[in-house]
Amino acid sequence: MPSVLLSLVTWNSADTIEACLQSVLAQSYAGFEVWVVDNDSQDDTRARVAALAATDARLHLHALPTNTGFCGGHNYALDRTLHELVLLVNPDVEMAPDYLARAIAAIHQHARIGTVCGLLLQSREPDPRIDSAGMVARPDGRFGLRLHGQRLSQAGPLTTTDVDGADGALPLFRRQFIDDLRVEGEFFDSRFFAHKEDWDIAWRGRLYGWRTVLEPGCRALHPRQFLPANLQLRRRLSGAIKADAVKNQWLLLLKNTTPRQAPGLLLRALPRQLAIVAYSLLAERASLRAVRYLWQHWRAVLATRRVVQQRASRGWAPAPAAAAAAPLLSICVPTYHRPEMLARALRSVGPLPPEVELVVSDNSTANDFGGQVTAHVLAAQPATQWRYYRNPPGGTSATNWVACVERARGEYLLMLHDDDYLRPGGLAAMLRVLHRVRGQQHAVLFGVDVVDARRQLVQQQTPAREQYLAPATAVEFLLSNSSLVRIPGMVVSRAAYESTGGPDPTQLTTDDTDLWLRVFAQTGVYRVPLTTCAYTVHEGADTTGVFNEQTIELLLRIFQKAGALEVLPAARLHKARGHFFAQFVLAGAYRSLRLHDPTAAHRILRLLELPELRRQGLPLRWQPVHLLLRLLLRLRWTPPQPRSLAWLTPTS
């Protein structure tokens, strides 16, 4: 029995969501689960879904903090699941009990069928009007709803037949179809937000050689509320919606029109599009935003076109279905306005083995250089093995980490920040170890080379031998040495992320230490004497601004959590805390002196005078280091760069 996901995206859908979900949960086909992805509804949609979810374990609510549109909401579910089949369900649809069973039977009639759609009706009358029976492609690059508005009796006998596309209200997709249509990691083009995205899928599916089948035995109620061609309705819409409708039509034409189609199709499309521009100038100025959007993003649109056209040239040749299986390792690359470093990090990965996926999560807001770099560097990599996401404004490095974890599908996850990179052979070494410890170890710590901005080696930080540290020992090591774990050297299982709650964004720049505490306390850590990556220390790194009172408060909170976990006896935890804060503060002052910033070094050393740290006292082995740094500061000398920073590392 194939596994099936039913994906619903809601936004202020309280009026219809209960009836919709009741019809969903009443399906005769067993073996499905339901994800409701709510786009920050302001009514009580979430409360209604949550109440139903409490009565049925198949139903799961995922509440998003912002409105990501139809495209973003469904992409959220598609990117985090691996079900063989996916049924998209509009929240204003009510399905007949056998809809899903009939659609599944139809999609299995032929391997080339990527989509099945049903007969959607506008009312429960004895002879209702048809909302849609699939879609039909028009010669000017638009799509229309088949049989829309006709009485059921007027349509005549309806039989199973191929159609040009499926309306987005209730299509069943094959997972292989979804993965084959991904462009730069996305199934739905998030730029469409919520209009004509089903046209885009239908067009791409036809280009790639997939079939869409209408199964009229699949029936559902769908009272259509939005028809953009109706000018009376259109005038009541917001400017953003109208601009999207124009922009998305141009995106469709620019991305999907093949060189062979171009002369005839554009000849038919051009008069209408010129009329739309004229109408916008005279009566709908808001729609002119579409022109500005394309002017600003034409490079990204052309990059997408190249990917689509290259794939279309192969015809129906999708990757094997096995490609949808969960990878062993997800390499997650958080990035923020550092395209040159991002390119270096992505190139360092090398050819992607089949068991590895790459997820780029971009917090950049000022430009789309990160997306362009990703598409260029990864152009030769298998399209099903990498995905790029551009996050909404307002995110931090902590929220980006959470986003990476949610999007990754691997059994293990590696965080490779854009300013770090893998060493030659590093990925292969990781995979060999993961195969060996799979199912036994959940936190694997590899060695790293600490390098400067010029890629010059500053320090080698590699375990002396392969060993497993039990939870108490692992926590003591972690909380005695503020630099024990360099993030690109740590591989953590998905199971550990899920069982410990994953990164805590409220910990801000200390979220890594906070997470490692919870993971180590639960699973311990397995240290491997193999250097797999490089960790870059430079002025632009997040860590350069962490030597302040806020960070001290956040770190003290971590020690409070460690005490509550009771993994480590109080006396050992107290001793570890003394070493941790001494190393943290003195290392920060040393770094500032190396950067010729005595003012910052003095400010950082004064952190030891904070009440919590003063009461702790400075451990004996750190007192000479403290005196030396104060002397260097008084003399305004820049300390030399030693071959090793082992003197700044406590012996645990």
Task: Indicate the pLDDT class of residue 649, thresholds 50, 70 and 90.
Answer: very low
State residue 272's pLDDT score.
77
What percent of the chain has a predicted confidence (pLDDT) above 70?
A: 91
Ordered structural domains, the chain, with CATH = 4-221 (3.90.550.10), 231-314 (no CATH), 329-546 (3.90.550.10), 569-635 (no CATH)
Mean pLDDT over the full length of the chain: 87
State residue 379's pLDDT score.
84
Range of lowest pLDDT (364-368, 410-414, 439-443): 364-368
490-510 residue pLDDT tens: 999 999 998 988 888 888 888
| Cα-to-chain-centroid distance, residue 309 | 25
State residue 232's pLDDT score.
55
Cα–Cα distances in angstroms (integers) from residue 404 to residues 216, 407, 478, 490, 580, in the given order? 40, 5, 24, 15, 28
26-38 residue pLDDT tens: 999 988 999 999 9
Task: Indicate the pLDDT class of residue 230, thresholds 50, 70 and 90.
Answer: low
State residue 647's pLDDT score.
42
296-353 residue pLDDT tens: 888 888 888 998 999 999 888 886 664 456 899 999 999 999 999 999 999 999 999 9
60-107 residue pLDDT tens: 999 988 899 999 999 989 887 889 999 999 999 999 999 999 999 999
Q: Supply angle C-alpha 376, 378, 380, rounded to 5.
A: 100
State residue 402's pLDDT score.
87
Compute φ and ψ for 528, nearest 5 degrees: -125, 125
State residue 237's pLDDT score.
52
State residue 648's pLDDT score.
47
State residue 385's pLDDT score.
87
Task: Indicate the pLDDT class of residue 225, thresholds 50, 70 and 90.
Answer: low
Range of lowest pLDDT (147-161, 437-451, 562-576): 562-576
Residue type for position 292: R
Cα–Cα distances in angstroms (integers) from residue 310 to residues 254, 285, 553, 603, in the given order? 14, 36, 53, 57
Task: With a cut of 50, say whether residue 542 has pLDDT above it.
Answer: no
> Which residues, other chains included, contact 320 with Cβ-Cβ below 8 Å and sequence gap of 6+?
none
Task: With a cut of 90, say whether residue 447 has pLDDT above it.
Answer: yes
Calculate mean pLDDT across residues 514-523. 91
Alpha-carbon gap, residue 160 to 214, rounded angstroms:
6
* Best CA proximity match to 361, nearest among 323, 328, 327, 395: 395
* Best CA proximity match to 9, nearest among 85, 64, 57: 64
3-state helix, strand, coil in the chain (%, to 5): 45, 20, 35
119-170 residue pLDDT tens: 999 999 999 999 999 999 999 889 999 999 999 999 888 999 999 999 999 9
